[in-house]
């Protein structure tokens, strides 16, 4: 095992993974690696990858394991990820979890956070969620940036994700239960899993996660 701080954040869509990872990345000085953000940027920029996956993202389906694994491997090879990373949206199923262990080799995952939220909270958050198409900043539909359509951080367009429409939300949540939730047992058995109550305020959730990170002497 090396000292590279690889932290996986699991939780349903709308649990707050993106919001928390952005904050933790700042506090811990390691990058937020979101496979969803990487794929959305490719769709926005109409790259060959983006054109290939656009339909899958809009429908709320999963992109194939090999392709996403390659993206993660490439991202981990970049200079800013050598000290560690916060993984958001990956792994999504057992095949990806196995591949991730191969990709990481000796580095290994140091901690897996499960952000637990009620179904009511998730449905409410997802329908209110708006995102900046440029930098991925997350807003609520009542925020001034969401109303004006302009991101306060980068000036990009603030929009509703196509997969935050009701039908795609249902599909994504069903996929989570079927494919991703079983990973909780997998990581629990490895002694890596810690549950955090995601129904608290944003600040409280960040503080709770940072406590765990310090307890485990990862910061």
Catalytic residues: 17, 92, 129, 161, 172
The span of 55-63, 75-83, 118-126, 194-202 binding ligand AMP (CB under 6 A) equals 55-63
CB environment 144-156: b (16+ within 10 A), e (fewer) = ebbeeeebeeeeb
Calpha distance 23→29 (Å, rounded): 10
Annotate each residue in 126-165 with x if it binds ligand AMP (CB under 6 A) or - if it does not, as one string.
-------------------------------------x--
3-state secondary structure of 175: helix
Judged by CB, which is closer to ligand AMP: 96, or 206? 96
Task: With both helix axes pointing from N to C terminus, report the angle between 48-59 and 166-175 in degrees, rounded to the nearest 10.
Answer: 90
Q: Does the footprint of ligand AMP cover residue 13 (CB under 6 A)? A: yes
Q: Does the footprint of ligand AMP cover residue 198 (CB under 6 A)? A: no
| Whether the Cβ atoms of residue 219 and residue 210 lie closer than 8 Å to each other | yes
Q: Does the footprint of ligand AMP cover residue 76 (CB under 6 A)? A: no
Binding residue (CB under 6 A) for ligand AMP from 19, 20, 96, 114: 96
Judged by CB, which is closer to ligand AMP: 39, or 112? 39
Calpha distance 173→166 (Å, rounded): 11
For β-strands 5-10 and 111-116, DSSP reports them as parallel
Q: Does the footprint of ligand AMP cover residue 35 (CB under 6 A)? A: yes
Q: Does the footprint of ligand AMP cover residue 31 (CB under 6 A)? A: no
Q: Does the footprint of ligand AMP cover residue 61 (CB under 6 A)? A: yes
Question: Which residue minimizes CB distance to ligand AMP?
Answer: 36
3-state secondary structure of 50: helix
CB of 17 to ligand AMP, least distance (A): 7
Residue reference for tokens 């409280």: 204
129 alpha-carbon distance from chain centroid:
15
- What are the tokens at 32? 């937020």
**Interacting residues toward ligand AMP by CB under 6 A:** 13, 35-36, 39, 56-57, 60-63, 68, 89-90, 92, 96, 163, 172
């Amino acid at each position: 095992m090396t000292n590279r701080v690889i932290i996986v954040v699991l939780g349903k869509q709308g649990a707050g993974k993106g919001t928390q990872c952005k904050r933790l990345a700042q506090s811990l000085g390691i990058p937020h690696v979101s496979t969803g953000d990487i794929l959305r940027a490719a769709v926005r920029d109409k790259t060959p990858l983006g054109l290939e996956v656009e339909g899958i993202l809009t429908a709320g389906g999963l992109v194939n394991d090999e392709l996403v694994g390659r993206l993660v491997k490439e991202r981990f090879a970049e200079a800013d990820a050598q000290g560690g990373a916060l993984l958001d949206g990956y792994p999504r199923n057992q095949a990806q979890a196995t591949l991730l262990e191969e990709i990481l080799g000796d580095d290994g995952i140091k901690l897996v956070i499960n952000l637990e939220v009620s179904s009511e909270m998730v449905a409410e958050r997802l329908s209110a969620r708006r995102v900046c198409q440029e930098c991925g900043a997350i807003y609520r539909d009542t925020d001034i940036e969401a109303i004006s359509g302009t991101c306060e951080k980068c000036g990009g367009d603030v929009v509703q994700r196509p997969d935050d429409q009701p039908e795609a939300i249902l599909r994504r949540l069903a996929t989570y239960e079927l494919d991703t939730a079983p990973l909780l047992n997998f990581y629990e058995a490895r002694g890596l899993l810690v549950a955090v109550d995601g129904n608290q305020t944003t600040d409280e959730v960040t503080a709770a996660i940072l406590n765990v990170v310090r307890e485990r002497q990862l910061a």
